[in-house]
Structure 1
Amino acid sequence: MQNNHDRPPEAPQIRAKDIFVDPRHVEHSFDLPFWRDDRKLWALKIPAEDMDIDDLRWILDVPFWEDTEGNIVITPSDVIRDMDRFPDHRDRILRCDTSHPIDIMKNRKGEWLTLDGLHRLVKQILEGKKTIRVRKIPPEMVHLTAKDDIDT
């Protein structure tokens, strides 16, 4: 019979931090049942085409970015209004390479939404562009972008 000294100590109970996700994010999100691998997304053989940038302007008012606590509450419009308050996003917007198209897919409401390229979209709006290069990802192909391992 083993005594308590022979048992390994129990792992400490760690509770995941509760985060707040703005309802507008939930309303417009894709709700994919997997984590996406951007490299797999970029590898999809989807042709790029021009799109009127105004068709995507509504995205600026939806929270897609996290605050310092991990809460999904920051909209691109928030960043545009006060770039110095959000230096990480400001720097990503200023540094991003707009020669690459953005990847979009229709969300559950039937609206075109960025899968990849939100910082590039913001930069081109700030530059006053009228059109933007996009790749329209068919919903039946998005599963091909699933991460193999969620730890990577």
Structure 2
Amino acid sequence: MTRRPFPLAIPPELTAYILDLHWDLGLLHRLDLLTISVRVADLAHHLDRPFWQYDGRPFQLTPRQVAADPAKYQDQYARTLAADLRHPLHVVRRWDGRLTILDGVHRLLKAELEGRTTVVVRVLPWEDLDEIAVR
């Protein structure tokens, strides 16, 4: 069965972070995955990537830009403050061993803003991507 491709053009600076397939968050949340603690510093590079939309356009804004100017980016900052750190982030362990966030960048930013040193993550192995792929 063929996977549907990701529905938006992925900027070059995000190709190492965003999967090139369309995937389902509900499917991801229903999986029984390994849960581990990861240092915030080990995931912090995500905060320098333009994952978030701004002014109706995707991939315009980094989480660190939001943190630096919460008055300008009120919507994303409010989402960050409302993020519930009782819920783990979801990451994929890529074929090369790197962890990249699938769901939880707002939670990661909140953890950094709060000075936390670790976050809890649920890890999807690279070879299990078909479990969340939309066909």
Normalised TM-score (structure 2) = 0.83
Amino acid at match of 1:23: P
What is aligned with 2:86?
Answer: 99
What is aligned with 1:133?
Answer: 120
Aligned counterpart in structure 2 of residue 119 of structure 1, from 106, 127, 130: 106
Which 4+ stretches in 1 moved above 3 angstroms?
19-22, 106-110
SS of equivalent to 1:48: strand
Per-residue deviation, residues 92-111 of structure 1 (Å, max 9, x unmatched): 11111110110111357753
- Distance in 1 (CA, whole Å) between partners of 2:19 and 2:10 is 13
What is aligned with 1:32?
Answer: 20
Amino acid at match of 2:132: T
Of all paired residues, the percent bearing the same amino acid is 30
Normalised TM-score (structure 1) = 0.75
What is aligned with 2:53?
Answer: 66
Q: Quick one: structure 1 residues 111 and 71, their matched pair in 2 at CA, closer, same or farther if it must change by over 3 Å?
A: same
Give the aligned length.
128
**Aligned-residue CA RMSD in angstroms?**
2.1
What is aligned with 1:75?
Answer: 62
Structure 1 or 2: more strand by fraction: 2
Amino acid at match of 1:32: D
Q: Quick one: structure 1 residues 119 and 81, their matched pair in 2 at CA, closer, same or farther if it must change by over 3 Å?
A: same
Query: Which residues of structure 1 form unaligned runs of 5+?
Result: 1-18
